[in-house]
A and B are shown apart, each in its own frame.
Chain A
Amino acid sequence: MANLGFKIIEATRSASQSIAAHGFRSFLTTLGVIIGVASVIGVVSVVQGFSASITQEFDGMGTNVINIESYTPRKASLQGLYASLGYDDLIEIKHRVKGISNVTPTVTIWGSNAVISYRGESTDTMVIGTASTYQKLYAVYPDAGRFFNLSDDKSRRRVAVLGPSIITKVNIKGDPIGQYISISGEWFKIIGIAEKRGKLFGFDQDDFILLPYSTTRALLGGAEEPDISIGLQVDDMQMIEQIKQQLKNVLRRNHNLGKDAADDFKIATADQMLETFNQIIGSTTLVLAGIVGISVLVGGIGIMNIMLVSVTERTREIGIQKALGATRFDILLQFLIEAVFLCLLGGLIGLVLGFGAGSLISSATGLPEATVPLWAVFLAFGFSAGTGLIFGIVPAFKAANLDPIDALRYE
């Protein structure tokens, strides 16, 4: 019916009029909805921004990369037995497993062995000892200078590629390439500066130094072989499952594991890591659903309460409207639209506040930029309108069912 269109427009106009007439009260009324939508949008925007950048990260890494790390089962660690991967594991893999390339060892050093200094400025960082293939495997490209090559590694050259943050951390002046920096008391020549990657989780991804693997081992002073992790690239993705099986067999044999012994290493693909990550996102979404549920309730009860008060306050007006020929449906529509309008307004404010809060959190903690996906916008408005409808229905019926005479006599 065309009439319905007019009536909806009129009801919207009169709703905005009465909402405006009680500006502050309307605001307080919608606070539940505002907070609900704001918190959902805030969390979604942060998680989405984060998720987008993580996915990008994994994409950069490539789905054909496999990482192997030592893994100590809990029982063993209680007995003081720690699993370890050694360079001989890497050699075995290189020789026995076909269809892989860029097999790269990585040893990470923290703490006292990772103290660096430059002209009296001293700090600690993360020192990564690795091979020249690291560059290809993880797509690390120097912004300036070069990455170390096979011969640097073979002849244990004291050369270093710096993460860009190091330059500011120890205050290197002028062109860093060719200058010297002290790592754990030894002097290294700076040959390259890695590309800037920014912050993730508030964690500076540019605070590291890359050294050739052999040099790092020398630096550690050969007492005990370090626990390394091994990264490699699968040439043909179709083969990834077979290759994982082969890697497993080689490592088990090399570690002399009996039939019943558990693996003392973990083989992870980028896909698996992405999956784990997606599970985290999934449970975050579940928590979000909880927030939505609670705010529906809180927001809705607030709306219902004030709408009931408003119906009582406007009893006389409703009587007048009925005397002028308003049907039950007209009055019902008017109050329902007012509730929905109020909630949508709250939703809009919540959306803006939530996005603002998300952006603030992201920039303050160094997370990737907050983004609000379209589905979240629809969710926010759908949820607001739904709250208005569900919790507006009782007051609207109360208004619609008023007896015209009683309503007109109401003082």
Chain B
Amino acid sequence: MSPVETVIQLRSIAKHYTMGGEGFYALQGIDLDIYLNDYMAVVGSSGSGKSTLMNLLGCLDYPTDGQYHLKGMAVASLDENRLAGIRNREIGFIFQNFNLLPRASALQNVMQPLIYRGSPLAERKRRAEDALAMVGLQDRMHHVPNQLSGGQRQRVAIARALVTQPAILLADEPTGNLDSSTTVEIMALFDQLHEDGQTLIIVTHEPDIAYRCRRVITLKDGRLISDVANSATVISQAKGVGAHG
């Protein structure tokens, strides 16, 4: 047994798309291990395959090739229903555009994933309230999304991702739609989650954010070109990307 537990193991992962008769690889030959309590940033220019990778990790999509093990399970071979179960139990997804259910209150949004696992109402409510309190929204629980600011919406989304106590939290440009001060708040929240032992993967274009993470991987044209622990090189690389986007 290794001293650090591996949560995710990718081997030779590829995602191939065919468009208009022409095929190309959005991802190719990806080997990646993600460990318990990793705090990892994914950087790379636009179109490099970051979101494609996140969707695969989040079990929203199938790789065309390669092996994906999540907590030892061979995910690629699972059927739709099992994948839904994994998304529900093991994955917390946070999107750039929040993706809250528009007619549901903050509380209902956070309770939603617990419905799919059949938790009774009282338990759902208690856990959702706890999660909302953790992101500092205990007094906004009955607001619907369009009564909340962008930062508050993203906090609801984070609470919703956390409420199921997932093995891994995936955030695809979580601060992309937020101003700088709100970005700082959200990042502080991620730092806190990392300290509490959560495993996080964050896609970002912003060097500041990449810098806060403990590990940074870089994608280029669907290939993993670097995987480094946080250092000055990362910052300069991330800066290059930032200037690009």
* Chain A residues at the B interface, C-beta cutoff of 8 Å: 1-3, 6-7, 10, 14, 17-18, 21, 316-317, 319-330, 404-405, 408
Known: A21-B103, A328-B80, A405-B60. A323 touches B116 (CB 8 A): no
Contact present for A6 and B80 (CB under 8 Å): no
- The CA of A328 and the CA of B84, in the complex, are separated in Å by 9
The answer to whether B138 has its CB under 8 Å from any CB of chain A is no
Whole-angstrom distance between the Cβ of A161 and the nearest chain B Cβ = 72
Contact present for B88 and A325 (CB under 8 Å): yes
Whole-angstrom distance between the Cβ of B41 and the nearest chain A Cβ = 21
Contact present for B88 and A404 (CB under 8 Å): no
Whole-angstrom distance between the Cβ of B142 and the nearest chain A Cβ = 14
Contact present for B60 and A404 (CB under 8 Å): yes
The chain B residue with its CB closest to the CB of A3 is B118
Contact present for B101 and A317 (CB under 8 Å): yes
The chain A residue with its CB closest to the CB of B89 is A325
Contact present for B103 and A324 (CB under 8 Å): no
Known: A7-B115, A7-B118, A18-B103. A326 touches B55 (CB 8 A): no
The answer to whether B211 has its CB under 8 Å from any CB of chain A is no
Contact present for B85 and A408 (CB under 8 Å): no
Contact present for B55 and A324 (CB under 8 Å): no
Known: A405-B55, A405-B60. A324 touches B113 (CB 8 A): yes
- The CA of A6 and the CA of B112, in the complex, are separated in Å by 12
Contact present for B87 and A323 (CB under 8 Å): yes
Contact of B84 among A7, A17, A18, A327 (CB under 8 A): A327
Contact of B87 among A7, A14, A324 (CB under 8 A): A324
Interface SS, A side: helix
Contact present for B116 and A325 (CB under 8 Å): yes
A319 contact set on B, CB distance < 8 A: 99
Contact present for B99 and A320 (CB under 8 Å): yes
The answer to whether B39 has its CB under 8 Å from any CB of chain A is no
Give 5 CB contacts A-B under 8 Å: A17-B103, A323-B58, A323-B99, A325-B87, A329-B81
Whole-angstrom distance between the Cβ of A57 and the nearest chain B Cβ = 57
**B side interface size, CB within 8 A:** 30
Count of inter-chain pairs, beta carbons less than 8 A? 72
Whole-angstrom distance between the Cβ of B241 and the nearest chain A Cβ = 23
Contact present for A2 and B87 (CB under 8 Å): no
The answer to whether B102 has its CB under 8 Å from any CB of chain A is yes
Known: A7-B118, A327-B81, A405-B55. A321 touches B60 (CB 8 A): no
The answer to whether B61 has its CB under 8 Å from any CB of chain A is yes
Contact present for A328 and B113 (CB under 8 Å): no
The chain A residue with its CB closest to the CB of B119 is A6
A328 contact set on B, CB distance < 8 A: 80-81, 84
The answer to whether B72 has its CB under 8 Å from any CB of chain A is no
The answer to whether B143 has its CB under 8 Å from any CB of chain A is no
Whole-angstrom distance between the Cβ of A23 and the nearest chain B Cβ = 13
The answer to whether B160 has its CB under 8 Å from any CB of chain A is yes
B55 contact set on A, CB distance < 8 A: 405
Whole-angstrom distance between the Cβ of B96 and the nearest chain A Cβ = 11
B61 contact set on A, CB distance < 8 A: 404-405
Chain B 95-119 near chain A by CB (<8 Å), digits 1 or 0: 1000111111000000011011111
The answer to whether B68 has its CB under 8 Å from any CB of chain A is no
The answer to whether B120 has its CB under 8 Å from any CB of chain A is yes
The answer to whether B93 has its CB under 8 Å from any CB of chain A is yes
Contact present for B58 and A6 (CB under 8 Å): no
Contact of B120 among A1, A6, A405 (CB under 8 A): A6
Most central of A316, A317, A320, A322 by chain B CB within 10 Å:
A320
